[in-house]
Structure 1
Amino acid sequence: MNYSNSCPVAMQTQPEYDPPHVTSLAQSLRIAQWRMCLLHSAPQHRLIWLTQGQGRALIDTRRRGIGAHNLIFLPAGHLFALDAGPPPMGHILSVPPGHAGNWPVWPSLARALDVREQGEITALFDAMSREQSMQRSGWADAMGALSQLMAVWLIRVNEGHLLADGSGAPLKDAATHDTAADRLIGAFLSDLERLYPQGAPMASYAERLDVTATHLSRVCKARLGRSASELIVERTLHAARDRLETTSTPVKDIAAGLGFRSAAYFSRFIQSHTGNSPRALRKRAREATERARQTAAS
């Protein structure tokens, strides 16, 4: 077949959709540590590759040790939080919904055990960072293809190197939730992610789960290092700060959308947990965004 008269494929520099995105973990923590350290979820799949440092993180239904050469996978909508402390080094790959790739259904924590595996994952992140930075023709398609390759790599590594707490013990399939505590925490976190905008108190969660509030808090504290009430506060605070700092929604509407009885009560909540008023948080975030914009333009 003669292709000499074929029309060339147009490669767009600006994508028509949101491609996968790579960010520096340490930079993200320096700019706004609360975004990673308060309990939260994300609408994208996230793959976190740790290259240096160590700490602990809430992943699935347990608080787990993490360290260098760990790979954390968080499906869209799953709750996660890093413990506050010295920021680890690494990268975050965010994959928006709708992108191809055989991503796992459940969160996972794996360790790249040998130099070859570490080199493969580092090379993929480096390639994605270059594509994202240079934005040559077809860069968004390249990001999508590389993220699909990353999904394949993740499945391969997970087959043999899943970790429960950094000790090398295998991580049980999260779908089994094989203990009563796992089942209780899993159900509580699922309810929390769906119901926190209603502003329900901890007692109402316990009632839904048919346990006492004391028992629910005790199990959460033992497994996650946070009581049930603390988890509710964290999830609500993260959502509140995100809406204050990234939108122009009136404070009274944010308060109503998170189940607060009044804007005044919401303001006291924010002041108590951040030391700043809602208006001050919003002002600081806008100033930081403007500084970042000017730095990028210079």
Structure 2
Amino acid sequence: MRIFSENRPDINQGLKTRRFRVESLPRVTSETRWRTEAMRSYAQPLLLWFTRGQGRITVAGVTHGFGAHHAVFLPANTMHGYEMSGQVFGTAVYLPPDPSLNLPEEPVHLRFRDVAQQAELSVMIENIQAELKSDRPGKERAMLAHAGLLAVWLDRELEAGNRQDLHPDAARRLAAAYSAMVERDFKTGRTINYYAQQLGVTPTHLTRCCKIACGRSASALLADRVHFEARKLLAETRRPVKEIAGELGFNSAAYFTRAFQKHTGATPTAFRKHG
């Protein structure tokens, strides 16, 4: 179920409050698995709160396991995807891109064994959710205030040392740097050779480090990000295939179609019809 804040344009409020959103983690089927597993990002901060189940999450090119009572905070434009083993329950909290909140600038992975900590985070999320459902005066201020409390809570947990180190070695740091570049440039059609050159390493070394960090090659990460965007545009818009191909850096619609079919098992037209 999706709960949205008010969508009416408001010049004074800008994007601050209209981009609050709280969603239950989706029930994944074979047809929709790409929406969670493929590499993607959002233009706003995101907090994932897993309350049951387990799986693996790749954040900025580095894969870690997650389980019940794990929280993952992702700054805006952080490339990520997660695989769920069996039934996973949890909540995704999309926060406004408001610098005054002073949210962490780097991804954060937290694990909570203490019941009081688990309850504290759940209550903060429920407070934001309650304001989204309400029509009371001061709703926008209240949501920003609750988001501010969430930011303070994250800072305190980081100071307490509850985070997992996402980049413990040089290979994972390189994979993270590569992931950030892919997120910035994946629509340009640039090859792995370009990214490796920019990072000062060989394509072979870059791929070796990506496989250490997340079990996938550098080219697989890039293709996954490109084709997530392709599937999203095909599923959610009626834009012509040729236009989507051009936006994603392909020289022709025919080349895009071949690459898309190789990656997904369906042509763009077939995916749009059935996906």
Provide TM-score, normalisation by structure 2. 0.85
Cα distance in 2 between the residues matched to 1:141 and 1:284: 42
Extract unaligned runs of 5+ from structure 1.
1-11, 165-170, 286-298
* Contact 1:52–1:90, Cα closer than 8 Å, also in 2: yes
Cα distance in 2 between the residues matched to 1:268 and 1:197: 17
Deviation, 1:85, is: 3.8
**Identical-residue share of aligned pairs (%):** 38
Change (3 A) 1:102 1:113: farther
* Contact 2:193–2:203, Cα closer than 8 Å, also in 1: yes
**1:53 aligned counterpart, secondary structure:** strand
Task: Choose which of 228, 232, 236 in structure 2 pairs with 1:238.
Answer: 228
Deviation, 1:253, is: 1.2
Tell me the residue number matched to 2:44.
44
**1:26 aligned counterpart, secondary structure:** coil
Q: Which of these two proteins has the greater Rg computed from alpha carbons?
A: 1
* Contact 1:20–1:147, Cα closer than 8 Å, also in 2: no
Give the counterpart letter for 1:236 in structure 2: V
Cα distance in 1 between the residues matched to 2:92 and 2:120: 16
Change (3 A) 1:189 1:281: same
Deviation, 1:125, is: 1.6
Tell me the residue number matched to 1:78.
78
Tell me the residue number matched to 2:247.
257
Cα distance in 1 between the residues matched to 2:133 and 2:248: 37
Task: Choose which of 175, 184, 194 in structure 2 pairs with 1:194.
Answer: 184
**Mapping of residues 213-292 of structure 1, within 5 Å:** 213-284=203-274
Tell me the residue number matched to 2:67.
67
| Correspondence 1:55 to 2:55 | yes
| Correspondence 1:180 to 2:180 | no
Larger deviation, residues 16-25 vs 202-211:
202-211
The size of the alignment, in residue pairs, is: 263
Change (3 A) 1:160 1:58: same
Cα distance in 2 between the residues matched to 1:178 and 1:92: 26
Instruction: Write the deviation string for residues 91-150 of structure 1: whole angstroms up to 9, x where unpaired.
Output: 011113236412011101112231111111111222222332344444343322222211
**2:160 aligned counterpart, secondary structure:** helix
Deviation, 1:216, is: 1.2
Instruction: Write the deviation string for residues 164-211 of structure 1: whole angstroms up to 9, x where unpaired.
Output: 3xxxxxx2xx7xx67432342233112211221111222232233232
Cα distance in 2 between the residues matched to 1:14 and 1:22: 14
Change (3 A) 1:274 1:207: same
Instruction: Write the deviation string for residues 46-72 of structure 1: whole angstroms up to 9, x where unpaired.
Output: 011110011111124521121111110
Deviation, 1:161, is: 4.2
Q: CA RMSD in A?
A: 2.5
* Contact 2:61–2:178, Cα closer than 8 Å, also in 1: no
Provide TM-score, normalisation by structure 1. 0.79
Change (3 A) 1:200 1:116: same
**Which is strand-richer, 1 or 2?**
2
